[in-house]
A = this chain, B = another copy of it.
Amino acid sequence: MFEDNSPKTSLSELGEFGLIDHLTRFVEIYQPSTLKGIGDDAAVINHKDEATVVTTDMLVEGVHFDLAYMPLKHLGYKAVMVNLSDVYAMNAEATQITVSIAASNRFPVEALEELYAGITLAAKTYKIDVIGGDTTSSTSGLVISITALGKVNPEKITSRDGAKPNDLLVVTGDLGAAYMGLQVLEREKQVFKVNPNAQPDLEPYSYLVERQLKPEARKDIPGLLAALEVQPTSMIDISDGLSSEVIHLCKSSKVGANIFEEKIPLDPAVISVCEEFNIDSTTIALNGGEDYELLFTVDQKDFDKIKANPNLTVVGHITEEREGMHLVTRGNQKIPIKAQGWNSFDDANEED
């Protein structure tokens, strides 16, 4: 984890308050709605006429990340993205986060500085304010819990339950790259175990690895939709794979859906690495997860507004609930969609 031999500072040297002051010393305030940030019992924000969006996600070492190939700075960045993605999925603007970290004494202060560097880079890039948090010790691994806040005009909120039959199903960006990036990194980890002197050549996989290690949340989409004058009828972020999210959206909206295999947006790098790994790329796009793209539905009358946009792909449409949820294959077969997404309680994911 730490390759240099410079002296390390133990967490107990700084103490809890000293550590928080130290880690947050580069925190800046970008949002006028932040009335009071770090340093009191609580932060104070004021979104005035707009509603406040709140979401939270927890990342646990050995379950959600592996420090063998996830640099701490990237982890901090990604932990913020996971949360911002949920804010954007409400058609909202992300504005603030709180950051809680539990770390054992095997992490020196320098490690938490790296983690915080990723968090503050994300905050700077996305113009969100770190307004609070907690930093504490743990008896074993690293746990990061982030809560993100955002603001939205109450009339623009998009929830999961508004999709109607005949609405179009739209996906942003492309799918499956983050999962295949993870497969590439896992393979390199195994090679490294056998031969620690092997120099991995990740260059051909740079897009995939970047999607896994440094995902970006779709901050641009709420603004793009506003500019296109499109109000989605429902929206969800794609964190667990397209299948899982389509199921969530359809169940909440009490509708069915058809997704067309040939329409699913795949980057050429995903197609070629899937061939290399001998995996079906559609399966990866449906079940891979961690893409942090958005899935939304729009009324058919909005098709002309979105059809030419390179960020948006119509992948199918909403049906009556009784018709169920199906993938229509290239061979025109209808296959029921099942969730095979991420389940952190699945024993197969346990590392202990």
Contacts and interface: CB of A to CB of B under 8 A. Distances in A.
Given A42-B150, A86-B42, A102-B143, A35 B51 contact: yes
A54 B42 contact: yes
B141 A58 contact: no
A57 interface: yes
A41 B60 contact: no
A161 to B, nearest CB: 8
A209 B138 CA distance: 25
A35 B154 CA distance: 9
Interface stretch (A88-96, A120-128, A271-279, A316-324): A88-96
Task: List the number of copies, as a whole number.
Answer: 2
Select the residue from A19, A90, A98, A136 with max chain B CB neighbours within 10 A: A136
Interface stretch (A262-270, A307-315, A339-347): A339-347
Contacts of A96: 54
A186 interface: no
Contact of A41 (B45, B52, B138, B237): B237
A11 interface: yes
Contacts of A98: 54-56, 147
B90 A60 contact: no
Contacts of A161: 40
Contact of A92 (B42, B105, B154): B42
B160 A40 contact: yes
Nearest to A237: B41
B147 A12 contact: no
29 contacts: A12-B343, A15-B343, A16-B345, A19-B345, A35-B154, A36-B157, A40-B90, A41-B87, A41-B90, A41-B237, A42-B53, A42-B55, A42-B86, A42-B89, A42-B148, A44-B53, A44-B154, A45-B52, A45-B54, A54-B131, A55-B132, A60-B139, A62-B139, A63-B102, A64-B136, A102-B143, A137-B349, A139-B352, A140-B352
